[in-house]
Amino acid sequence: MSLIADTPKPPYYAVIFTSTRTEGNNGYATTADRMVELALQQPGFLGIESAREEVGITISYWSDLASIKQWKENVENRVAQKMGHQHWYSEFKVRISKVERDYGAEFER
């Protein structure tokens, strides 16, 4: 699996989650893996990219706003959100934006 999501031709939507973590794992890694597994099964899910240093940035891509709303209301995702608020994140922000254009460089190998 590539670290960069293979998204379709725009338009589509990006959910940008930025966060700073609390100390310790407290089940975070297992839950994060499960959320990706569940998202892959969600209608409208297009892909995900994630990086973590001092600030974590996870961007998930979706075909439409209704799919994002449905994902936010997923029961397991709601439990993970609650755990994040209470245990995993000292600070976080969610932003949703419409991707109207994308491009990338093709490299010769």
Q: What is the pLDDT of residue 25?
A: 79
SS3 at position 25: coil
Q: Residue 59 belongs to a domain with what CATH number?
A: 3.30.70.100
* Torsion angles phi and psi, residue 65, rounded to 5: -65, -35
85 contact partners, CB below 8 Å, separation of at least 6: none
- On whether residue 107 sits in a domain, the answer given is no
Distance CA 5, CA 50 (A): 10
Q: What is the pLDDT of residue 47?
A: 96
Helices (H) and strands (E) in the chain, counts: 3, 4
Q: What is the pLDDT of residue 109?
A: 46
pLDDT digits (tens, 9 = 90+) for 90-99: 999 999 999 9
- On whether residue 7 sits in a domain, the answer given is no
- On whether residue 86 sits in a domain, the answer given is yes
| DSSP code, position 10 | S
Q: What is the pLDDT of residue 27?
A: 85
Q: What is the pLDDT of residue 1?
A: 60
The number of folded domains in the chain is 1
- On whether residue 71 sits in a domain, the answer given is yes
pLDDT under 70 in the chain at which residues?
1, 105-109
Whether residue 101 contacts residue 10, with contact meaning beta carbons closer than 8 Å, is answered with yes
